[in-house]
């Protein structure tokens, strides 16, 4: 399989290499990772995700505090039931109250677990949508540069191979246009794609509290 892949790769690259030797192939490089980090909307997206995480943590803490309070009430009722001076009628009433609270706290446990799992999934999906939107915007700007300059090949210099080594081992500094991409991305008033809607979209709906 590896031999077949090497043969196919050699055939694909044979013509471009020949063209490059004759000075007819226009090659460029861009550091997609750097462009992603230095794009101002990346920072905006990270801030929004962190705000959503903090809001989810606060709501989880509120639910956990309510659970702890309910558990303390059950423990207090158990102590009252152990009191020898408690009448039979009062003991029956408090036992019923305790059992009702135990049933309620079991529902709280399920709701807390459901809340945690649901919110974690929502945050992951939201972060993924934002990342995909940002990468698409960067890619669109790169392709505009490629078309404007009639480039034949463009390599992502931040890419890493399956062996963990850089895909692009070396390139001349003149062929890198990452700075141009970052400048265009961060230009004030630049029309953007649907990323604006993603950044402006409200946080996922919160599951109802118990």
Q: 45 burial class (0-12, 13-18, 19+ CB within 10 angstroms)?
A: buried
- Given its phi and psi angles, is residue 189 left (phi above 0), alpha (psi -120 to 50 degrees) or beta? left
For 143-152, the pLDDT digits (tens) are 999 999 999 9
| Phi, psi torsion values for 153, nearest 5 degrees | -140, 140
The pLDDT score that the predictor gives to residue 169 is 81
Question: 0.85 cut: is pTM over it?
Answer: no
Which tokens in the block code for residue 186?
């961060």
3-state SS record for 15-30: HHHHHHHCCCCCEEEE
Higher pLDDT among residues 115 and 168, named by residue: 115
- For residue 104, what pLDDT band results from cuts at 50, 70 and 90? very high
Average predicted confidence (pLDDT) for the chain: 82
Judge contact between 134 and 198, C-beta under 8 A.
no
Confidence of residue 3 (pLDDT cuts 50, 70, 90): very low
Q: What percentage of the chain carries pLDDT values higher than 90?
A: 56
pLDDT, tens digit, 9 for 90 and up, residues 174-190: 899 999 999 999 998 87
Decide: 25 and 152 in contact? Cβ < 8 Å.
Answer: yes
Whether 51 and 179 have beta carbons less than 8 Å apart is answered as no
Q: Which residue has the tokens 């995700």?
A: 49
């Amino acid at each position: 399989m590896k031999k077949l892949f090497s043969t196919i790769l050699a055939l694909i690259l044979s013509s471009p290499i020949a063209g490059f030797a004759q000075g007819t192939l226009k090659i460029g490089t861009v550091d997609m990772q750097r462009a992603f980090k230095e794009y101002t909307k990346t920072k905006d997206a990270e801030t929004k995700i962190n705000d959503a995480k903090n809001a989810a943590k606060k709501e989880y803490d509120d639910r956990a505090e309510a659970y702890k309070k309910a558990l303390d009430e059950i423990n207090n009722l158990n102590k009252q039931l152990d009191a020898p001076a408690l009448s039979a009628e009062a003991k029956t009433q408090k036992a019923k109250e305790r059992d009702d609270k135990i049933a309620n706290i079991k529902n709280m446990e399920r709701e807390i677990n459901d809340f945690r799992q649901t919110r974690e999934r929502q945050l992951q999906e939201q972060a993924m949508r934002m990342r995909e939107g940002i990468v698409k915007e960067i890619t669109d700007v790169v392709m505009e540069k490629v078309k404007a300059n009639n480039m034949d090949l463009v390599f992502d210099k931040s890419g890493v191979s399956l062996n963990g080594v850089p895909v692009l081992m070396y390139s001349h500094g003149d062929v890198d246009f990452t700075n141009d991409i970052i400048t265009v991305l961060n230009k004030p008033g630049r029309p953007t794609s649907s990323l604006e809607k993603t950044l402006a979209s409200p946080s996922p709906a919160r599951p109802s509290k118990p």
